[in-house]
Amino acid sequence: MSDKLIVFVTSANVAEAEVIARALVENRLAACVNIVPQVRSIYRWEGKVEDSAECLLLVKTSRALFEQVRAEVQRLHSYQVPEIVAVPIEQGAENYLAWLSDCLKAGD
């Protein structure tokens, strides 16, 4: 099992997604962030079922950096309760996982 994670984050629009993605990569909290510009989310918020267009960010990081990623996303995000959900990368191409490690903060 790898110590790497993919963190799912939704955002209100592409501009916000780009700000979050750039900050995470520039600060070496993520090796890569994919932005999927158009997803449709149906969810319950404040007692009502909502239907919204959002962007999805796929953040590639490590377990050791998750709390820093979470804090940075919350700092930059416009939502009161942003989606920040991590899933482990159980397996992957060794050279990709090595590249991912090289791109993250030293020692993480």
Structure confidence by residue, pLDDT tens digits, 2-34: 899 999 999 999 999 999 999 999 999 999 999
Mean pLDDT value across residues 82-101: 95
- What pTM was computed for the model? 0.94
Q: What is the pLDDT of residue 108?
A: 45
Q: Which of 15, 10, 22 is nearest to 57 (CA)?
A: 10
Average pLDDT in the chain = 95
For the chain, strand residue ranges (E) read 4-11, 32-45, 48-62, 84-88
Picking from 29, 3, 8, 11, the residue whose alpha carbon sits closest to that of residue 78 is 11
| Vertex 82: Cα angle to 77 and 87 (nearest 5) | 115
**What domains are there in the chain, each with its CATH number?**
4-103 (3.30.70.120)
What does the alpha-carbon distance between residue 45 and residue 35 come to, in Å, rounded to a whole number? 24
Measured between alpha carbons, how far is 37 from 100 in angstroms, rounded to an integer?
23
Residues of 16-43 as b/e, b for ≥16 C-beta within 10 angstroms? Answer: bbeebbebbbeeebbbbbeeeeeeeeee
Span 71-87, pLDDT tens digits: 999 999 999 999 999 99
According to the model, what pLDDT value does residue 2 have? Answer: 80
Label residue 38 left, alpha or beta by phi (over 0 means left) and psi (-120 to 50 means alpha). Answer: beta
Is residue 51 scored above 70 in pLDDT? yes
